[in-house]
Chains A and B, each alone.
Chain A
Amino acid sequence: SQQGEEDPQALSIQEGENATMNCSYKTSINNLQWYRQNSGRGLVHLILIRSNEREKHSGRLRVTLDTSKKSSSLLITASRAADTASYFCATDPHDYKLSFGAGTTVTVRA
């Protein structure tokens, strides 16, 4: 069942700007992951943050996790046209099945 919910549903920004999207979930988790999907393609894993971590960085990506609020955010800094894609959060509730949110569609204008 779908647990994560992303906000906003869609985001349009200028190249070079930062993009921030949020994810809320309902139950306790082992970890939370972010994936990216280009149109008509499969998903690519971006970053994983464990339940005992609060912030994690990977290149131009910054992820935060607030387990008390059951929410996470993904920040993409200095966006590029190639960052145009849909971004999904996925929660791992201890049973190896990931529950995906509805995604945020990001459009980066050149």
Chain B
Amino acid sequence: GAVVSQHPSRVICKSGTSVKIECRSLDFQATTMFWYRQFPKKSLMLMATSNEGSKATYEQGVEKDKFLINHASLTLSTLTVTSAHPEDSSFYICSAVSGRGENIQYFGAGTRLSVL
């Protein structure tokens, strides 16, 4: 149980285009989902916390108009990188918590974004 699916796994796009990444909890309802960015050989940097039916909470320094987050249902959150630029190239990972019991996060497999 506790499977999180993240799609796509890899995307290459041209500068100026927008890219949408989906994160789905397959076998549980996720009250909260998190979006992280990870640089090579570095830790995860929390970008935002997404709660179903409400606006996402962004971490300091993360542009909310640049990284649009929508948590439309208890099983789906999307991250849209708008007007992507080469500096947005990174590994983006989502995670989800069920809201029951311990705060264990279940992670998607990540999305490698390359902006040309």
Which residue numbers of A lie inside 8 Å of B, CB to CB? Answer: 2, 30-31, 33, 35, 40-45, 48, 88, 90, 92, 96-103, 105
Contacts and interface: CB of A to CB of B under 8 A. Distances in A.
Given A88-B43, A100-B43, A43 B112 contact: no
Q: Is the interface of A mostly helix, strand, loop or mixed?
A: strand
Given A48-B104, A101-B43, A96 B97 contact: yes
Given A42-B6, A45-B104, 18 more contacts: A30-B103, A33-B104, A40-B91, A40-B110, A41-B110, A42-B107, A42-B109, A43-B95, A88-B43, A90-B105, A96-B32, A97-B34, A97-B49, A98-B103, A98-B105, A100-B44, A101-B43, A102-B43
Interface residues of B, number: 25
Contact of A45 (B34, B41, B49, B106): B106
A42 B104 CA distance: 14
A96 B103 contact: yes
